[in-house]
Structure 1
Amino acid sequence: MSKGKILIVEDERKIARLLQLELEHEGYETRAVYTGLDGFMLFQQEQWDLLLLDVMLPELSGLEVLRRVRSIDNLTPVILLTARDALPDKVSGLDLGANDYITKPFKIEELLARIRVWLRQSMVQKETPSSICIGDLTINEKNREVERAGQSIALTPKEYDLLVYLVQNQNQVLTFDQLLSNVWGYDYYGDTNIVYVYIRYLRKKIDTPFSKPYIHTVRGVGYMLKE
């Protein structure tokens, strides 16, 4: 029985074939295509459990494919593959809705571990109720809409992921490392600045316009969301 169905979009055919062989050896069903346009077309035609997406692709860039994927599907995990490791590239991908980011060259064991993590989280997400509520804050997970006190709040994909993780662990202190590994992925281990930045963005949208804050700082440790 297949562990999951994974679409590989990678223009370097040797890498794509290696990924296919390793993933199929682990029990996954795979397809590989070599252009961004072919990748997006195949993504629309079939149901996938996870997308491995190279950033540098012919016809459509990986980031453009990601943008189009997220316009029609907010749930399928996407892991970006790229030779570039600059922070702006990572932030761009994550803001467009990527779940994780791995820089070439990478060890297949690390990629397999990340795939297992995101497939587990995707399964949990599919099994949880479509709406999460805390006080006057409501998150509709099916369409990724957020409201507070009846007002719609527009969040970027990564702001949304951060909020959902905080709400799912409400009344618990979440350390910087927990937030990094569960919201941004392992490439960001130790980079607490990105946590500060996104907590600030999120507070401006869900706390500042209202009288009662939900996100609380636990000095020197991390953050906690509570009513």
Structure 2
Amino acid sequence: MISGKLILTVGDDETLRQILVEQLQLNGEFRIKEALTGKEALQYTEKQYFDGVLLDVELNDFNAYEICCQMRKNGVKAPIIIISDANNDQDTILALDSGANDFVVKPIKIAILLARLRAHIRQHEQNEHAVLNFGTYSFRPGAKVLLDIKTNKEIRLTDKETAIIKFLYLSSGQVVSKSVLLDEVWGYNAGMTTHTLETHVYRLQ
């Protein structure tokens, strides 16, 4: 259902930004949008959903901690990782208190940063209060609601339909067989046919 998580990178450190963009897009796992200033970052997050935010403290216009705090006030629920030169307890506390999920110190180890980003995204997606976006739809598993963003039409889902969409979303675009889906959603047993699954999928389509 998804061809890559959308990540917002924020900061005016050109070298770091180029490295992040190159590494994040390497295997098609992530898609990137870049903001050079805090103002741009706030504008982007007000108009678009992001799966994660990488926020460098080096900003010319705003304090990065204030930007993070404002994003949370604006309703951004996605994981935010702050990247900083400062390796001290005070900055770590400032970052976490401002609403960041994590604090990473330069020089960063890309592999570890990506692993942390993946972990935070997984945790966020598995939260029942999360809002998951794909294509033109916004999905709230906790409320069992699928919203067509273009038409603003709200679709109420059954428990099974909710479980199907959530499992397919978390599969990140990988092909899922009927048997795997039956096992995950229904607890597949030998006496069950795939007809029920096909009926649910047909309705969702």
| TM-score, normalised by the number of residues in structure 2 | 0.60
Cα offsets for 1:21-73 (capped at 9, x unmatched): 11011320101121111111112121101000012311111111101101022
Residue 53 (structure 2) pairs with residue 51 (structure 1): yes
* Map of 2:37 onto structure 1: 35
Unaligned residue ranges in structure 1 (runs of 5+) = 131-227
Unaligned residue ranges in structure 2 (runs of 5+) = 131-139, 144-205
Which of the pair has the greater relative contact order for Cα pairs under 8 Å at 6+ separation?
2
Structure 1 distance, partners of 2:15, 2:36, is: 11
Q: How does 1:76-91 map to 2 (within 5 A)?
A: 76-91=78-93
Structure 2 distance, partners of 1:2, 1:95, is: 33
Deviating above 6 A after TM superposition, structure 1's stretches of 4 or more consecutive aligned residues are none
How many positions carry a matched residue from both structures?
130
Q: Is the 8 A contact 2:13 2:58 kept in 1?
A: no
Q: How does 1:1-227 map to 2 (within 5 A)?
A: 1-26=2-27, 27-125=29-127, 126=130, 129=142
Structure 1 distance, partners of 2:74, 2:55, is: 16
Structure 1 distance, partners of 2:123, 2:141, is: 11
| Residue 129 (structure 1) shift | 3.8
Cα offsets for 1:77-119 (capped at 9, x unmatched): 0000111111111101101110001001011100010011011
Structure 2 distance, partners of 1:18, 1:106, is: 10
Structure 2 distance, partners of 1:128, 1:101, is: 29
Counterpart residue identity of residue 17, structure 1: Q
Structure 2 distance, partners of 1:78, 1:67, is: 10
Structure 2 distance, partners of 1:7, 1:105, is: 20
Q: Is the 8 A contact 2:66 2:98 kept in 1?
A: no
Q: CA RMSD in A?
A: 1.6
Structure 1 distance, partners of 2:77, 2:3, is: 20
The alignment-based identity, stated in percent, is: 28
Structure 2 distance, partners of 1:45, 1:78, is: 17
Which of the two has higher C-alpha Rg?
2
3-state secondary structure, aligned to 1:80 = strand
